[in-house]
Chains A and B, each alone.
Chain A
């Protein structure tokens, strides 16, 4: 029964939808600086909306602050002053529902230096 049911579904889907399967695709953007990141985000969302895909808007993950705290002094003498250096990592997540080819098109257009783009396909 399950097999029959399973066998029926792809046939139906094949008739209704185009050949490529729609996947849920998650694009993760990370960067050190916010301006470029927001620009790439906006470009991606605009590109996706132009192709009429369902887009779950940019979800802003909490910024990770990596801190390194060191003594300022090269020797041990003096009042104990400390330097804290930080690196802020901003992360945005965009969810789309589309076929993988369209996604490749969209992501190939907008690549800016300093922004890392990761695309994962969630198997339904």
Chain B
């Protein structure tokens, strides 16, 4: 689609904060960015590898990275923290070891903290993963979308919009389907809107899921 700007980027100055919060001179900026990318990928792969089959999906809402001179602080906002805490904090330490192995840098200590997100279904990332799971299990897409919206409505959101694009139901002709509940004012900058775009790979191709959640208005 050509016209809609990403609502997170649109609101960066006002209602939206950066997820990575650090400073580097322009000379060293790319190194910092690559570190960030490595940390994020490492964490996602680890959670995906070790998830238990029963709980189903990961539920990482956000990974916040703050860097100081001697310390890198990573805060993982996760919706269902059982996966990592059940192993008696072994999970966190293993994660830390894994991420540090990627690094080869001796100067900076790494600190990983896990925060639990209340109302996990109010976070678009977690909702998107839920829909992805449903679609992988060949549930009808409209049912999956409606169920996701129901889950979100239970957690006091003022509006939600879900969009799925691609070969829906495996049909040859791709299309875009969307459902909206409540109001989602994308043009209002002071409206807190959470957004997520998630891709699923099915046997028919790639489906893109976009979710907008209108949380609050200041």
Answer whether A and B are interacting partners: yes
Q: In the complex the two chains form, what is the Cα distance from A117 to B23 in whole Å?
A: 10
Give the contacting residue for A116; candidates B21, B24, B66, B73; CB below 8 A. Answer: B24
Q: Contact string, B54-74, partner A, CB cutoff 8 A, digits 1/0? A: 000000000000111100010
Q: In the complex the two chains form, what is the Cα distance from A124 to B24 in whole Å?
A: 30
Q: Which residues of B contact A30 (CB under 8 A)?
A: 23, 25
Given A73-B2, A78-B2, the answer on whether A113 and B73 have CB atoms closer than 8 Å is yes
Task: Give the total of A residues in contact with B, Cβ under 8 Å.
Answer: 14
B26 interface contact, C-beta 8 A: yes
Chain B interface mostly helix, strand, loop or mixed? Answer: loop
Q: In the complex the two chains form, what is the Cα distance from A111 to B21 in whole Å?
A: 14
Give the contacting residue for A113; candidates B2, B25, B68; CB below 8 A. Answer: B68
Q: Which residues of A contact B68 (CB under 8 A)?
A: 111-113
Give the contacting residue for B21; candidates A66, A73, A114, A117; CB below 8 A. Answer: A114
Q: Contact string, B1-33, partner A, CB cutoff 8 A, digits 1/0? A: 010000000000000000001111110000000
B25 and A116 within 8 A (CB):
yes
Q: Contact string, B90-126, partner A, CB cutoff 8 A, digits 1/0? A: 0000000000000000000000000000000000000
User: From residue B202, how far is it (CB to closest CB) to chain A in Å?
Assistant: 24
